[in-house]
Amino acid sequence: DTLVELKASCAGVMANHRKIQRQLEAVQSRAEYWSKNAELAVRKSRDDLARGALAEKRRCAGKIESLEEELGEFNNLIEQYQKDIQQLEDRLHSTREKQRMLVQRHIRARRKKRAREEIRRSDGFEAIAKFEQLENRIERMEAEADLVNLGHKPVLNEEFDNLSLTEAIEEELENLKSTLEKKTGSA
């Protein structure tokens, strides 16, 4: 808003500068006109007309001086406006650049935060849950494997167990007989 107002003010001053410039050119043209008329009057020996023409030329010279001063002031004003506009545009550009950088930093920070939260979440509950799921799946597979072999293995195991038991009983029986024979044989 300030930049727009500043440019509008500068444009107004420049318009006034052009207006004064045209007035100056018109007054300079009038001064030239009266100067030529004064010369003509002197050549024709009309001093009264020459005096009148010189008086008009002087009035024009005063007006020229005043308009030139005004033009100088307008030139200074325009120059100052242009400097102010340039400084303001530089500041605005710098501010926009800072804003753009801050927005980029904000986006990067938000992405970084989201990534860290995701890592923390996956390191924590999700990893534990996945591990537990894997463990449950393995236990279920082991249980299924046990169920598959449940009907076959015990029969074989029982036979071997029975064999071992029978062998142990037979051995014990032999030991008992041998002990009894020794007792009866020695008695």
The domains found in the chain, sorted by start residue, are 2-131 (1.10.287)
pLDDT of residue 161 exceeding 90? no
- When pLDDT is cut at 50, 70 and 90, the band that residue 170 belongs to is confident
Q: What is the pLDDT of residues 21-32, one digit of tens each?
A: 999 999 999 999
Of 23-37, 145-159, 165-179, the range with the highest mean pLDDT is: 23-37
Give CA–CA dist 170/104, Å, rounded. Answer: 90
Mean pLDDT, residues 91-106: 94
pLDDT digits (tens, 9 = 90+) for 32-88: 999 999 999 999 999 999 999 999 999 999 999 999 999 999 999 999 999 999 999
Write the DSSP assignment of 19-87 as a string of letters.
Answer: HHHHHHHHHHHHHHHHHHHHHHHHHTT-HHHHHHHHHHHHHHHHHHHHHHHHHHHHHHHHHHHHHHHHH
Q: Tokens at residue 123, please?
A: 């390191």
Among 48-52, 148-152, 168-172, which is the least confidently predicted range?
Answer: 148-152
* Percent residues over pLDDT 90 in the chain: 59
